[in-house]
Structure 1
Amino acid sequence: MTKTIELKGVQQRFHARGTAGGYLTAVDDASFTLSAEPAQVTSLVGQSGSGKSTIARNVLGLQKPTAGDVLYNGKDIFQLSRAEYDDYRRNVQPVFQDPYAIFNPFYRVDRVLWKAVKKFGLASTREAGLALIEESLRAVKLEPERVLGRYPHQLSGGQRQRVMLARVHMLRPAFIIADEPVSMLDAQVRKLFLDILLDFQRDHGMTTLFITHDLSTVYYLGGDVMVITKGVIVERGPVDTVMHEPSHPYTKLLLDSIPQPDPDQRWTDRIEVDELGEEEKAEAKLASTPETPVI
């Protein structure tokens, strides 16, 4: 059976003083499906505060939605049995934004790799575990002898992020949930990181939900894209189509906000994003509904 992650009408509200009704809606009626076969890259793009990371937490089971369902192979992830939950945890792996905060500074970086080996029974002997770790480090363009035995502060941000990719490589999950994983990396390391994600898709059949505010990385990865603003997914489709023929005003604003590489062209415009009304939300939902439920 093909593994799937499906969001159906997910809404996430948070209590907030001074707001209408006493709450803030971070995600409003979000619905989409990710499929492990064929492996694909789907990007979720929007400005800061648009609800992207909240959706990531919903998908990872870190935040139970106020309404709606997050389904893994058709079952609510918050009602999985122990065996089903273990399968979910192995097959849905996160890569977070901050390469400085994902490691405990008191432990060597080896620890996150050995914990995965032991937790998921990836090797029967220490020698086999070490061989697996070294293989996965090389797969993400790291030299094991220059990484193993070191503390987090002895590695660069790009190296730390790739150690987490090595952990993903060891587990071979069906899905990667990457929440702004390259926003703190320089351009050269950013390209290397994106290339590794594409290698994982091509060589190991991993589907990635790539969450970002950067349209250039979305274009580089290709695949499909969903555009979100104010918690509402307003447009979705193939990257080339959305980038070259955007149908929603917000998508057009995002594209217009990209600075042009022309020193003679001054960037003076400011983007104002208005709150979506109920009628606009309904139109956005209709416009963003794909012809097929799997993207």
Structure 2
Amino acid sequence: MAGQTGSGARARVMGIVNVTPDSFSDGGRLASVEGAVDHALRLIEAGADILDIGGESTRPGADPVSEAEELDRVLPVVEGVRARWDGPISIDTMKPAVARAAVAAGATIWNDVFGLRADGATETAAALGCEVVLMHMQGSPRTMQANPAYDDVVEEVAAWLAERAEAVIGAGVARERIWLDPGLGFGKTAHHNLQLLRGLPRLKGLGFPVLVGASRKRTIQAIDPMASDPLDRLGGSLALHLFAASRGADVIRCHDVRETVQALKVWAALEG
């Protein structure tokens, strides 16, 4: 896992490979296995440290897909990337069976927006021995943005993540293999997202590496109403990424890898 960020250090960059027809900003772009693998290789050339491959959209209002369909989407891509690259590959899934198959195909990280809460998920993670990302989400992708509410979003998310991490450790997952993700945009308003970014030191205080996914999020449109198109949110994404890194984020999950890597390098040079 990435070391602690700070002066002179750069957060690692996780490049997004969405093999879905309905993701919020790039759905349908990578419809073929060849296209998805080529995109993944371009992200590596652009400086991605990690690749995150997902076959089920988790955008607000998204409908679930079957296990079989998700496997058909992601397994050939994981296999294709692994045949050409020996770096870290993450499988973005809520389904234990998909995680098992993806790890068998070469994935080394299980990125679960549901925080390993599905039946059998913690036991599967323990058996696989891979690194896991536990993300906070209020509700489900279909309902999470209906009316998210918190008394203190930073403290509530931190408490939930701490409790979830301890439960996962109790199920047999090694502490050093756990990462935490506050889940920006997953059952949060723009205000909540900004509070969580400001409160990242509180999450870092839990003692686990922190992953932040702010890329092209609607929070940017809330600040800049002209950014209604997700593809018009690069500047805002970079600002959020740099702020997250300055608050201790270890991994930045993003679409625009080249620009993010460059921004983080320049920021680290200025710091160091």
More strand by percentage: 1
TM-score normalised by length of structure 2 = 0.34
Greater C-alpha Rg: 1
